Amino acid sequence: MLRWYILLGVSLSLIFFYTVLSPKTSVRDKEYSVEYLCKFSLDDVISLRLTSPVVEAHFIRDDKMSWRAVSGLSAPNVEESLRVFLRTRIERKFLSVPGSDQDFGFEIPDLSVKLGFVGTGPSWEVHFGDRTPDGFGRFARIGDRRETLILPDYQRENLSYLLIK
């Protein structure tokens, strides 16, 4: 009988230690990794080309750091739209199987964004596909990679306003 009292005492003391004396951590204290779509800044970008199935727009930055339209569109808020796009957070990413382009809307992308950089660096391209089933995100793909991303839909809407004449 004495063994049971000792076992009960040890169990209660362990429970007391873990519930009362152990340091508390909250959800706010935990580190969550946030991954951004772009790893470069606005100063690195010198050209922006937007392509949809209906219209195409091309903008370049001149020496005065102001944006001008190469095509017939005029968009005074190119810099702000691009600044918002460069801070896009990736909501989710997964590998897609070959031949699944039609499932996500990448055969004919809803919107393609191509960025050119200062100097002779290579360009960088993102293709927006269909909306996610919940309607809040868009399937996206960087260049020809097989990795499919889910980005917030407002990022595509933000850039599509630059295509309005």
Is 13 among the domain residues? no
**DSSP class per residue in 145-165:** -SEEEEEEHHHHHHHHGGG--
Residue 10's pLDDT band (cuts 50, 70, 90): confident
Whether 24 and 42 have beta carbons less than 8 Å apart is answered as no
Axis-axis angle for helices 78-86, 153-160 (nearest 10):
160
CATH number at residue 80: 2.60.40
- Identify which has the larger pLDDT, 99 or 128: 128
> pLDDT tens digit string along 30-85?
556 788 888 888 888 899 999 999 888 889 888 767 888 887 666 678 888 899 99
Distance CA 116, CA 123 (A): 5
Is 113 among the domain residues? yes
Is 12 among the domain residues? no
> Which single residue is written with the structure tokens 């219209």?
55
Q: How many structural domains does the chain have?
A: 1
pLDDT (0 to 100) of residue 113:
94
Is 92 among the domain residues? yes
Domain span including residue 140: 42-163
Whether 99 and 107 have beta carbons less than 8 Å apart is answered as no
Is 143 among the domain residues? yes
> pLDDT tens digit string along 78-106?
888 899 999 999 999 988 877 777 888 88
Is 63 among the domain residues? yes
Count the neighbouring beta carbons within 10 Å of the beta carbon of residue 61: 20
pTM above 0.85, yes or no: no
Is 4 among the domain residues? no
Residue 153's pLDDT band (cuts 50, 70, 90): very high
Q: What is the mean pLDDT of residues 135-155?
A: 91
